[in-house]
Structure 1
Amino acid sequence: MKIKYIVCGLLLLTVGASAQTKGKVKAAPAPAGLPRPKLVVGIVIDQMRWDYLYRYYDRYQAGGFKRMLNEGFTCENTQIDYLPTETAPGHSCIYTGSVPAIHGIAANEFIIQATGKQIYCTDDSAINGVGTTSIAGKMSPRNLQATTITDQLRLATNFRSKVIGIALKDRASILPAGHTPTGAYWFDDTSGNWITSTYYTNDLPAWVKGFNEGTTLKNYLSKQWTTLYPAETYVQSTADNSPYEGKYRGETAPVFPHDLAAISRNNFYGAIRSSPFGISFTLDFARTAIENEQLGKHPETDFLAVSLSSTDYVGHQFGPNSMEVEDIYLRLDKDLAAFFSYLDAKVGKGNYTAFLTADHGAAHNPKFLMDHEMPAGYFNPIAVAKELNAMLEKKYDAKNLVLEIGSYEVNLNNPLIEEKKLNADVIKFDVINYLQKLPGVLYVVDCQKAQMAAVPEWIRTRIINGYNPEHSGSIIVILKSGFYGGAMNATGTTHGTWSPYDTHIPLLFMGWGVQHGSLNRETHMTDISATLAALLHIQVPSGCIGQPIPEVLKK
């Protein structure tokens, strides 16, 4: 029997050696132990409406979005589970599988209800920037009150897996990377550097310093943004010189070409954000991270969380019907194709898992809709807050009882209400009664009583999921479809509402462990991290309320 086992063992060793030899030619070997991909790449496209997958489909090339659709799995009806639909809650939800009620990131900026103090989602005054002396470096994930899928991977491998977060926006790098990453890096407009904070390290790695010292940023900012294809072929867009679009500084009209050298003069490095070159710049940095951190080359699975922010800046400025938005998605598709080809060569096709989604969508510009006889309009939160304070001051002899209306939530001045021994419930009743009469307002809901509110269940659930008693305003304003917060005739677009154009996002998976196919039943942003946990055979994040999407995964 012993001889039999020895012979079998030698045969296995021979077969294994042969397989490894072949692997050097075709693809890198799979990780040892539990089958997992060598690398997970999470790609979040900031402000990508679901319909952009198909609006420009005929102009996409084979290797970008079409590759994910034709080789991978697409969930065609993925919905955001909460309100408001903003960048910080979106990135938090994708990676925690949770909602603001649990993970605490109630908005990009929110007010601590007990003190009335406003705080940015990743502010951390206890630490300092690394690579910069500006306040842009004083950031960390400490306000995030749940673990992420990236945290769970680190825990599952006893911190042997490497996790890197990268984005131009600090919040889009920090929140996905979680509490325990190998590194998180974001762009600093003041220095023109990729930076981090002392939460992660006391010194930038040599490879980050080398990238910052190079000419990559300078080269991009010396370019003109011209259309990728002849202007007359942009049939999915309005005319180039449109009244619905915003201009760059120094421009007389919002038209191509856009001269980045002129826009970025006097060391305005932030100009890179609102151009397609911001995407290329981010992916250049991501490749440098893969090379130098050797992501995908370790026995354990590594994770790269990259968010592409420039689509949001361009979308806000120009709106979804602009040639600029059409062009940035055509260029994004080209950049994705090149990035996937790089991953094929570096990590091995079939050895990595990629997923692509968005943190929120975007509305059509209300003036554009009104000019086309569609229901739409504006709700000006600053003006309405002033009107409310005037009304409340007259009744209660107290100034500034409303701190602000932000993210469609009314933040009351709770310290002042307590100091003057006023009845908060009566004040809320007055505020709700006033707001309900305003044009464009569909519902006004006391968030603490949302369960009993006479609103559609789809909206009610999202109010409940989005309400965090510590960080959310006590009253939420639900606008009619087509309306959003802004001054009358504001250019560009925004997001944040309950409507499908803000809540319906793309969700695609591709690569190791992923079936080819599509799904039209409703799935949720909270399901993303649960699906990744099932793929990786690890625990879901601590606040996760999502479910795995079984159709995505190979049996």
Structure 2
Amino acid sequence: MKNKIVLVAFVLIILNTLLFSQVERPKLVVGIVVDQMRFNDLYRYYHLYGEDGFRRLAEQGTNFTYAHYNYELTSTGPGHASIYTGTTPFFHGIIGNDFYDKRNKRMINCVQDDLQTSIGTENSNGKKSPVNLLASTITDELKLFTNKKSKVISVSIKDRGAILPGGHLADAAYWYDSKTGYFISSSYYMNKLPDWVNEFNSKKYPDFYLSGDWNLLLDKSFYEINNPDESLYEKDLFNEGKTSFPHSFKNIHPNERYNLFQFTPFANQLVLELAKEAIENEKLGQNDYPDFLAVSFSVTDLLAHELGNYSYELMDVYLRVDRQIAELLKFLDQKIGKGNYLLFLTSDHAAIETPAYLKENKMPVGGIGTNRLKDSLMIYVKREFNSEAIIENFSNRQIFLNREFILKAGLDISEVQKKIKNYLRDTFFEVQLILTRETLETYPASRTTINSILNGWNPSRSGDIAYNLLPNYLNNFLEKGTTHGSAYSYDTHVPLLFYGWNIPAKEVSKPVFIVDIASTIANLLKMNEPNSCIGIPLFGDEKS
């Protein structure tokens, strides 16, 4: 009798697998995010890219040339969350890399979770999880669709670049610990690192790379499209007394070595190598259920913040990312099989040119001065309402009112919002648009850019007054490097490439949005889209 039960169970498992496999699906889905990659960066160096990296994706896959983010406060956390949830901060709740926690009255990181413990390190860099993510991801939906038979692994230098793509149900998320040089994780996912990750860490790749120099990949003449190598717009990252190539790491303070390693192209190589190890050791793409690998290359963002978009260093990193993508594609061809994997590549946001560079070239540009605005507003509310306690927090171009104090003081919240709005409008020419909670709660978020402030605002987490600035105006003016965060095209226009399984070779110039990625993957895999998805599938019309 026992043997019959075992036999029946075995047959049911086989039948279930056969029924599932009757619908054609890729063996592996790969999501690649190149942090802060602007659409310009795909074509600015296109003639120098090889045939097997970016150009293979763009020419043999589908290249959406007009892909944009559709919300205010474009940054890494919201960007990764929006890619994988198919929605905006209005629904997924990741309103910034850091944001004000109204309940506990403190600023928190978007992946902070004090209930977790670090895995792979003794410091607190592993006390992270997707607990703050309010919506499901495409990776969550894949796990639910296959009853957790699909594997989901995510890898990044940044914690948020690994955690948010993996969603709530990831088998593992790994990120770089800037204090130890190791890849680590969180007790949210596991009790200890797998042996293969420990073995990878034991090789101490950061030490190896930091023992050498960073030299240009190509002849210096190829880089002259940029600002001079020795530039006033760049910081002396590696304490060399200069900003030009070649770069030596010998002068870095010992306590800063692993941190500054993140600003070298070799950190992206480290992510690539770990991703390949994950494919090999986790046997991704080796069963009847599609697996998902999420990879985020962070160096492009970290370096550009310090050196700007037109530095020799950033161009060199992009040339190397091109080769790293080619290496990954070759590995996927060998391990999964060409045509057996579905891949997309995009970015979590773009970036403005260095403001000082724009100013020198007579472009309208400036900074409102966060402290200037805050100090001025505090003086105003003290004069108008007889107390600074009216305002609880300033962050992410939002003003959080102390609603409890306002009610106890017998003031009308709507009137307070209106007066503060009018003061901002009359006092700061740099402010473009101001919206109050009263207005924001009237409308739903949308797929388009019709209201980018609303799309980036979350009813439960955001402030009572939200505003944006004029084009090219920042919270604080920058003399060096670059930043992002607006809903203007220099921050929202990013590459979007689909390649591989069932993807045609074509270029599409119609407007599409980053929230369309998750719905597209779901539609291709014939499964549910994430629960708050507002995007639309980008393929399939040709079949109707």
Pairwise same-fold verdict (TM > 0.5): yes
Given that 1:385 and 1:402 are in contact with CA atoms closer than 8 Å, whether structure 2 keeps it comes out as no
Task: Quote the offset at 1:542 in angstroms.
Answer: 0.7
Given that 1:103 and 1:543 are in contact with CA atoms closer than 8 Å, whether structure 2 keeps it comes out as yes
String of CA shifts for 1:181-205, please: whole Å, max 9, x gaps: 1111111112221111111111111
Which of 236, 258, 265 aligns to 2:225? It is 236
Instruction: Measure the CA separation in 2 of the matches of 1:228 and 1:537.
Output: 43
Which of 41, 48, 53 aligns to 1:59? It is 48
Aligned twin of 1:482: 472
Letter in 1 for 2:283: Q
Aligned twin of 1:100: 89
Letter in 1 for 2:474: Y
Aligned twin of 2:138: 149
| Superposition pairs of residues 351-430 of structure 1, within 5 angstroms | 351-399=340-388, 401-430=390-419
| Superposition pairs of residues 113-512 of structure 1, within 5 angstroms | 113-263=102-252, 265-266=254-255, 268-399=257-388, 401-436=390-425, 437-450=427-440, 460-486=450-476, 488-512=477-501
Give the secondary-structure state (helix, strand or coil) at the position aligned to 2:173.
Answer: strand
1:419 and 1:167, CA in 2 relative to 1: closer, same or farther beyond 3 A? farther
Task: Quote the offset at 1:465 in angstroms.
Answer: 1.6
Task: Quote the offset at 1:380 in angstroms.
Answer: 1.8
Instruction: Measure the CA separation in 2 of the matches of 1:389 and 1:247.
Output: 37
Given that 2:238 and 2:249 are in contact with CA atoms closer than 8 Å, whether structure 1 keeps it comes out as no
Instruction: Measure the CA separation in 2 of the matches of 1:319 and 1:343.
Output: 33
Greater CA drift, 275-284 or 435-444: 435-444
Task: Quote the offset at 1:318 in angstroms.
Answer: 1.0
String of CA shifts for 1:467-516, please: whole Å, max 9, x gaps: 11221122222211111222x44311110101101111110011011111
Residue 75 in 1 paired to residue 64 in 2? yes
Given that 2:390 and 2:405 are in contact with CA atoms closer than 8 Å, whether structure 1 keeps it comes out as yes
Given that 2:77 and 2:160 are in contact with CA atoms closer than 8 Å, whether structure 1 keeps it comes out as yes
Instruction: Measure the CA separation in 2 of the matches of 1:259 and 1:426.
Output: 59
Letter in 2 for 1:509: F
Letter in 2 for 1:369: L
Instruction: Measure the CA separation in 1 of the matches of 2:160 and 2:341.
Output: 25
Give the secondary-structure state (helix, strand or coil) at the position aligned to 2:147.
Answer: coil
Greater CA drift, 316-325 or 354-363: 316-325
Given that 2:86 and 2:515 are in contact with CA atoms closer than 8 Å, whether structure 1 keeps it comes out as yes
1:470 and 1:448, CA in 2 relative to 1: closer, same or farther beyond 3 A? same
Letter in 2 for 1:512: W
Aligned twin of 1:24: none
Q: Which runs of 5+ in 1 are unaligned?
A: 1-30
Letter in 2 for 1:446: T
Given that 1:85 and 1:496 are in contact with CA atoms closer than 8 Å, whether structure 2 keeps it comes out as yes
Instruction: Measure the CA separation in 1 of the matches of 2:392 and 2:541.
Output: 45
1:520 and 1:407, CA in 2 relative to 1: closer, same or farther beyond 3 A? same
Greater CA drift, 404-413 or 118-127: 404-413
Instruction: Measure the CA separation in 1 of the matches of 2:490 and 2:479.
Output: 18
1:430 and 1:365, CA in 2 relative to 1: closer, same or farther beyond 3 A? farther
Give the secondary-structure state (helix, strand or coil) at the position aligned to 1:295.
Answer: coil
Which of 538, 544, 549 aligns to 2:533? It is 544
Task: Quote the offset at 1:168 in angstroms.
Answer: 0.9
Letter in 1 for 2:338: K
Letter in 2 for 1:308: F
Given that 1:104 and 1:143 are in contact with CA atoms closer than 8 Å, whether structure 2 keeps it comes out as yes
1:221 and 1:420, CA in 2 relative to 1: closer, same or farther beyond 3 A? farther
Give the secondary-structure state (helix, strand or coil) at the position aligned to 1:209.
Answer: helix
Instruction: Measure the CA separation in 2 of the matches of 1:324 and 1:361.
Output: 17
Q: Which runs of 5+ in 2 are unaligned?
A: 1-19
Instruction: Measure the CA separation in 2 of the matches of 1:448 and 1:113.
Output: 18
Given that 2:240 and 2:248 are in contact with CA atoms closer than 8 Å, whether structure 1 keeps it comes out as no
Given that 1:129 and 1:198 are in contact with CA atoms closer than 8 Å, whether structure 2 keeps it comes out as yes
1:265 and 1:230, CA in 2 relative to 1: closer, same or farther beyond 3 A? farther
Given that 1:60 and 1:333 are in contact with CA atoms closer than 8 Å, whether structure 2 keeps it comes out as yes
1:297 and 1:459, CA in 2 relative to 1: closer, same or farther beyond 3 A? closer
1:474 and 1:553, CA in 2 relative to 1: closer, same or farther beyond 3 A? farther
Letter in 1 for 2:68: Q
Task: Quote the offset at 1:545 in angstroms.
Answer: 0.8
Instruction: Measure the CA separation in 1 of the matches of 2:529 and 2:475.
Output: 35
Aligned twin of 1:13: none
Instruction: Measure the CA separation in 1 of the matches of 2:408 and 2:179.
Output: 41
Letter in 1 for 2:292: F
Instruction: Measure the CA separation in 2 of the matches of 1:139 and 1:311.
Output: 23
1:386 and 1:135, CA in 2 relative to 1: closer, same or farther beyond 3 A? farther
Letter in 2 for 1:228: L
Instruction: Measure the CA separation in 1 of the matches of 2:540 and 2:57.
Output: 16
How many equivalent residue pairs? 521
Task: Quote the offset at 1:218 in angstroms.
Answer: 1.4
1:553 and 1:307, CA in 2 relative to 1: closer, same or farther beyond 3 A? farther
Instruction: Measure the CA separation in 1 of the matches of 2:212 and 2:527.
Output: 45
Give the secondary-structure state (helix, strand or coil) at the position aligned to 1:263.
Answer: coil
Given that 1:114 and 1:414 are in contact with CA atoms closer than 8 Å, whether structure 2 keeps it comes out as no
Identity across matched positions, percent: 38
Task: Quote the offset at 1:215 in angstroms.
Answer: 2.7
Instruction: Measure the CA separation in 1 of the matches of 2:98 and 2:115.
Output: 18
Letter in 1 for 2:502: G
Task: Quote the offset at 1:371 in angstroms.
Answer: 0.9
1:35 and 1:480, CA in 2 relative to 1: closer, same or farther beyond 3 A? same
Letter in 2 for 1:63: D
Given that 1:165 and 1:176 are in contact with CA atoms closer than 8 Å, whether structure 2 keeps it comes out as yes
Given that 2:70 and 2:487 are in contact with CA atoms closer than 8 Å, whether structure 1 keeps it comes out as no
Task: Quote the offset at 1:267 in angstroms.
Answer: 5.6
Give the secondary-structure state (helix, strand or coil) at the position aligned to 1:285.
Answer: helix
1:374 and 1:338, CA in 2 relative to 1: closer, same or farther beyond 3 A? same
Greater CA drift, 159-168 or 78-87: 78-87
Calculate the aligned-residue CA RMSD, in Å. 2.1
Aligned twin of 2:519: 530
Letter in 2 for 1:466: G
Instruction: Measure the CA separation in 1 of the matches of 2:478 and 2:351.
Output: 17
Task: Quote the offset at 1:208 in angstroms.
Answer: 0.9
1:36 and 1:151, CA in 2 relative to 1: closer, same or farther beyond 3 A? same
Aligned twin of 2:13: none
